[in-house]
Amino acid sequence: MQYTVLARSLAMAGTLSCTLAWHGAARAVEGVWTPQQFPELASKLKQAGLKATSKQLAQLSDPKGDPLGAVVPFGGCTASFVSPKGLLLTNHHCALAALQLNSTPQKSLLRDGFKTGTNNEEVSAGANARIFVLDSVQDVTPRVQAALTAATDPLARIAALDALEKQLVAECETQADYGCRLYSFSGGNRYQLQRSIEIRDLRLVYAPPESIGNFGGETDNWSWPRHTGDFAFYRAYVGKDGKPAPFAIDNVPYQPKRWLKIADKPLGAGDFVMLAGFPGMTNRYAMADDFEANADWTYPTVAAHYRRLAALIEAEGRKSPEVASKYVGTLRGWLGAAKSYESQIESFRRTNAAQAKRSEETGLLEWLRKQGAGGEAALAAHARLVELGQQARAERDRDLVLGQLYATGTLSAATQLYRLAIERDKPDAQRENGYRQRDQGAFENRLKQADRRYDVRMDRQLQNYWLHEYVKLPKEQRVAALDQWLEGDDEKAIKRALDRIGKSRLANPEQRATWLKADRATFEKSKDAGKDGAIQFAVAVMPTMLEMEREIRSRAGETLTVRPVYLKALADYRKGLGQPAYPDANSSLRISYGTVSPYTKDNGAKQLPFTRLEEIAARSSGKPPFDAPPALLDAITAKRFSANLVDKRLGSVPVNFLADLDISGGNSGSPVLDGQGKLAGIAFDSNWESVSASWLFDPALTRTISVDQRYLRWVLQEVFPAPRLLAEMGVPASGK
């Protein structure tokens, strides 16, 4: 598995957002709780509607128990086992990579959908597809803190964390079947080493057509009411001996110890629900400066760039179906992020969030000053965090532009391959994560699969965009090595640069494979490298990239000591107000609970908590993104609804529902459980009013949007039939 603590420390050296949030009486459903916190929540959960015995509540505090042991991280999303034969349920939008990988110019699985009649028809999700089934959790806080304390300066400190993280993971991964990961909680006040079974053979089983799985498209993103069948199925496979293995025809389905049962009681307004998943990051109690930097610069700047870049892809996609297919994931990501950022900005303004953040921080600092000598360390930590944040933001325009330029197709391949050659000169334990021997297979697979998301014409347009942004930077933020390589900052210079990059052999997958074996001298001195514009670029800018990385590491090394002090003081301050704490999201397993809840928009419009089948027909126009397939419309017209799928209160089959659950990025695909711990739905989005929930949770307006399991079953039964999956989940095809 990839390491996370060092990577997060480096990232946070720029953002410095705090990692502690709070749960009080006024926010009854706020919280991304760890399983270990469930004992303290037991009475609240029962009061909210969880029907569980003492033994079952104890199981909830065990991330390997029932039902949490059925929930797994899946490529930035969440998935859950729904049968004893390794069947996994997640979101349709989390299956984009597998759908693209198995599509051809003649057959688009994204457009047409994909279903299988037997296990033999299930197709590989790709060599890098993984899930991790939790096996053990170990507290390693004393070892990490001892290593950090022994370091004498910021760079030594970050190096010590890197070395210890690698050592801990190596000790943990003595068996090939396991992947291990170090997690930091509460800004570095607690560390956990988690060991998981690493399953490496995942296969796509079922995905409805895009006209179901993404009905409403970007128009409906972050919106309610919603009518999207955002679900897909995978299956986990292992070797015949039951141990994890790479893809092989004779592998067999994995048999999980835990899997979810489908709810057998209808979900209604006011009913208890609980969500389990792997949210990536929240910033509920970020420092005021960091909040304002995101609200005033990062979000508006990045959103504007994404809008312009998306327009380029859309224009090229209209001319080339191949480009449209290859960049569908990129396009969705940019448009979704832009809409999210723009909506958050509006939400911040509407709620006067900046003033609230500043007032809260002022209150904390005043409290610390009253502590006398006892508050001095935290006050000093706060002051240093402010200074480090200012340093990180000083050249943020440059960092954004260069980061995006380096990420374009051929330039990304060139810089990664050259960095790999540089890292090979070091002992394996001293190499940067991502370039060690253990990472070689994933590295090669990414290069092999890059063509699935790359087109030379589109790549040139993206490079052209970012080169123009680069030459507009103030002189003090320009990079001398890049200026020298560019040989000017006018249109002619940019065109010459693009022509040089466009001739790079790295656009060819066979050539990329060849350069995988090249050493540093070959990149820097060979004739072939000298003729390759992308490689010349990588060699020219790498010293600057490494120096920028060093600056980030130095700041991160300082934050490793000052952030825990500040956050410990914040915890004490909040506890004095009677508000128990939970650690902010960090991609580890978290649980949220609440109820199926309507809400009222700012304009007074009341939003019901369920949508119905008939509303799909009413919205369907025959044109994307509201082009519901004929089979679905015919089934609605004919009222082919099994009695046990119809909600008597709605008079129809429910499609999507709202709940006041606390989610963030990474929760896509998270199972929503009812009061009996059974699967009631799959989370896939939030309402517009929730876009700022990573920073501010508003219980009156924040809502999670989920696919109702009854709609999923109806699609599998009547629209895009998959009777074997229904039977496997314990639901007969008849729906009876």
Looking at residue 597, what is its pLDDT?
97
CA-based radius of gyration for the chain: 26
- From residue 700, alpha-carbon distances to 44, 236, 359, 687, 693 in Å are 19, 39, 22, 12, 12
Q: Is the pLDDT of residue 454 over 80?
A: yes
* 292 shares a domain with 221: no
Looking at residue 548, what is its pLDDT?
94
Q: 255-271 pLDDT, tens per residue?
A: 999 999 999 999 999 99
Mean of the pLDDT values across residues 709-722? Answer: 98
Looking at residue 329, what is its pLDDT?
92
Looking at residue 13, what is its pLDDT?
56
Could you tell me the pLDDT band of residue 733, with boundaries at 50, 70 and 90?
Answer: low
Q: How far apart are CA 357 and CA 286, in angstroms?
A: 8
Q: How far apart are CA 329 and CA 97, in angstroms?
A: 8
For the annotated catalytic residues, the residue numbers are 93, 230, 668
- From residue 456, alpha-carbon distances to 3, 158, 686 in Å are 32, 39, 35
Tally of structural domains, the chain: 2
Between helices 409-423 and 396-406, what is the axis angle to 10°?
Answer: 90
Please report whether residue 716 resides in a domain.
Answer: no
* 219 shares a domain with 83: yes
* 125 shares a domain with 10: yes
Looking at residue 113, what is its pLDDT?
98
Span of 15-19, 285-289, 294-298, 671-675 with lowest mean pLDDT: 15-19
Could you tell me the pLDDT band of residue 6, with boundaries at 50, 70 and 90?
Answer: low
* 331 shares a domain with 185: no
Q: 604-636 pLDDT, tens per residue?
A: 999 999 999 999 999 999 999 999 999 999 999
Q: How far apart are CA 527 and CA 305, in angstroms?
A: 37
User: Is the peptide bond between 225 and the residue preceding it cis, with omega within 30 degrees of 0?
Assistant: yes
Please report whether residue 45 resides in a domain.
Answer: no
Q: How far apart are CA 325 and CA 303, in angstroms?
A: 23
Q: How far apart are CA 276 and CA 302, in angstroms?
A: 30
User: Is the peptide bond between 209 and the residue preceding it cis, with omega within 30 degrees of 0?
Assistant: no
Mean of the pLDDT values across residues 129-151? Answer: 97
Q: Which of 248, 264, 280 is the last residue of a domain?
A: 264
- Count other Cβ atoms within 10 Å, centred on residue 128: 17
Looking at residue 16, what is its pLDDT?
36
Q: Which helix (H) or strand (E) holds 90?
A: strand 87-90
Coil, helix or strand for 567? helix
**Model's pTM, two decimal places?**
0.89
Q: Is the pLDDT of residue 2 over 80?
A: no
Looking at residue 24, what is its pLDDT?
32
* 307 shares a domain with 220: no
Mean of the pLDDT values across residues 420-437? Answer: 95
Please report whether residue 732 resides in a domain.
Answer: no
Residue type, 104: T
Q: Is the pLDDT of residue 253 over 80?
A: yes
* 363 shares a domain with 331: yes
Please report whether residue 582 resides in a domain.
Answer: no
CA 211 to chain centre: 24
* 438 shares a domain with 534: yes
Highest mean pLDDT among 40-54, 265-279, 429-443: 265-279
* 324 shares a domain with 371: yes
Please report whether residue 646 resides in a domain.
Answer: no
- Provide the phi-psi class of 670: left if phi over 0, else alpha when psi is between -120 and 50, else beta: beta
Q: Which of 510, 529, 561 is the last residue of a domain?
A: 561
Q: 535-583 pLDDT, tens per residue?
A: 999 999 999 999 999 999 999 999 999 999 999 998 889 888 876 678 9
Looking at residue 11, what is its pLDDT?
55
Q: Domain limits at 392?
A: 288-561
- Count other Cβ atoms within 10 Å, centred on residue 487: 11
Q: How far apart are CA 27 and CA 47, in angstroms?
A: 15
Q: Is the pLDDT of residue 453 over 50?
A: yes
CB within 8 A of 455, min separation 6: which ones? 316, 320, 322, 323, 326, 327
Share of the chain above pLDDT 90, in %: 85
Looking at residue 734, what is its pLDDT?
60
Looking at residue 577, what is its pLDDT?
80
Beta bridge partners of 77: 74
Please report whether residue 27 resides in a domain.
Answer: no
Q: Which of 561, 577, 599 is the last residue of a domain?
A: 561
Q: Is the pLDDT of residue 8 over 80?
A: no
Looking at residue 306, what is its pLDDT?
98
H-only helix segments in 608-665: 613-619, 630-637
Please report whether residue 75 resides in a domain.
Answer: yes
**Under 8 Å between Cβ of 212 and 629:** yes
Span of 42-46, 106-110, 709-713, 719-723 with lowest mean pLDDT: 42-46
Mean of the pLDDT values across residues 284-313? Answer: 96
* 303 shares a domain with 244: no
Closest among 710, 734, 679 to 613, alpha carbons compared: 710
Backbone φ and ψ for 406, nearest 5 degrees, come out as: -60, -25
Q: How far apart are CA 66 and CA 64, in angstroms?
A: 7
Q: 237-250 pLDDT, tens per residue?
A: 999 999 999 999 99
Could you tell me the pLDDT band of residue 52, with boundaries at 50, 70 and 90?
Answer: confident
Q: 15-50 pLDDT, tens per residue?
A: 433 333 323 333 346 889 999 888 888 888 888 999
Looking at residue 5, what is its pLDDT?
65
Q: Is the pLDDT of residue 514 over 80?
A: yes
* 327 shares a domain with 191: no
Coil, helix or strand for 669? coil
Q: Is the pLDDT of residue 509 over 60?
A: yes
* 492 shares a domain with 384: yes
Please report whether residue 484 resides in a domain.
Answer: yes
Q: How far apart are CA 506 and CA 524, in angstroms?
A: 16
Share of the chain above pLDDT 70, in %: 95
Mean pLDDT, rounded, of the chain: 93
Q: Is the pLDDT of residue 291 over 60?
A: yes
Is residue 517 classed exposed, middle or buried when 0-12, 13-18 and 19+ CB atoms within 10 A define those classes?
Answer: exposed
Looking at residue 317, what is its pLDDT?
96
* 232 shares a domain with 318: no
